[in-house]
Amino acid sequence: MKLQNDLLLRAAQGENVERTPVWLMRQAGRILPEYRAIRNSISGFKELVETPELACEVTIQPVDILEVDAAIIFSDILVIPEAMGLPYQLIEKQGPYFENTVKTLSDVEQLRIADPEESLKYVTDAIRLTKNELNGRVPLIGFAGAPWTIFSYMIEGQGTKTFAKAKKMLYTNPELSHRLLGMITESTIAYLKAQVAAGVDLIQLFDSWAGVLSREQYLEFALPYISKICDAVDTVPKTVFAKGAYYVRKELGMLNCQAIGLDWNMDIEESRALIGQNMTLQGNLDPCLLYSDKSTIKAATKKMLNTFGATKHIANLGHGLYPDTNPDHVKYFIETVKEHKF
């Protein structure tokens, strides 16, 4: 099916576009009253993720309400460890929690490479349903967590400030670390290929905890696995978003992907110089800026757009939307991007 709005895909591939496309990380979620109404009517977050009809509905909400240029399938990065045999819970106001964690090589040997047709069918079903409901209006983005970020949860058991247990494992047991990272990578490749087969138009890898690693550790335990995924999933454009990984921007620019996401701490011009002229850049307004008044939002958005330039840019935030952001301010940011003239 031909897309009515293919701005995102053309921009990702470096083509000239009539205007800068815009979508937002965490756009399908808590800022929207319509999302909260659905969320409050069911038992919990995981029911929403695992029910294709509901996941489809909340995926499409920001397309209807915010008028973004892409939908991103409503899911969670932690479906991968669960599909590998390490289940998680999502505790309200606390975040993800793993009752069991990986401590030894025998724990790794109890895990399996995820079979998306068997254990992640609810995601691919949601993708097919969403593609059908979107009816070609905008592209649908699929995603997964990058191996280091998934590894960090499987070792740590929950989100922490330092991920010291996960980093300790890299230092004290590199053999276990590489073994587990390899399994996560194979699982993620199978999962993303299944998403593509189900109909996603672009994929994004989220390395949410990239910033806790040193450059040396990132080059050994993170980047090679991202590179392997990028090489294996080669039929749709790919974006890599490594939050806090300012120290490997040059290396990120060498990946077999089409776009690199920048967080709000990464200077745009410096990032362009390091990453190179051929890659599309995505980002990178500070999500907190949307708490300010509309004139401030407009001025900052226009400054960001002019700095990135008219080509090879996908407008986004430098991280996900915060749940208490005013939806009117979010919509104003999107409108400002759409109306901007270079």
> By the 8 A CB rule, do 223 and 251 touch?
yes
Which amino acid, 77? I
CA 282 to chain centre: 12
> By the 8 A CB rule, do 335 and 304 touch?
no
Name the catalytic one among 76, 201, 207, 263.
76
Closest listed residue to residue 139, CA positions, set 204, 75, 69, 193 = 69
- The DSSP H or E segment spanning 56 is helix 52-65
> By the 8 A CB rule, do 298 and 318 touch?
no
Name the catalytic one among 10, 19, 39, 179.
39
Please say if 26 is a catalytic residue: yes
What the block records as the tokens of 93 is 């106001």
Question: How far lies 40's CA from each of 36, 52, 88, 148, in Å?
Answer: 6, 17, 20, 32
DSSP, collapsed to helix, strand or coil, labels residue 15 as coil
Please say if 324 is a catalytic residue: no
Please say if 19 is a catalytic residue: no
Please say if 39 is a catalytic residue: yes
Name the catalytic one among 30, 128, 137, 179.
30
Side-chain-side CA neighbours of 60 within 13 Å: the count stands at 18
Name the catalytic one among 26, 128, 137, 179.
26
Residues 11, 311: Cα–Cα separation, whole Å: 7
Please say if 30 is a catalytic residue: yes
Name the catalytic one among 153, 191, 218, 246.
153
- Catalytic (active-site) positions: 26, 30, 39, 76, 153
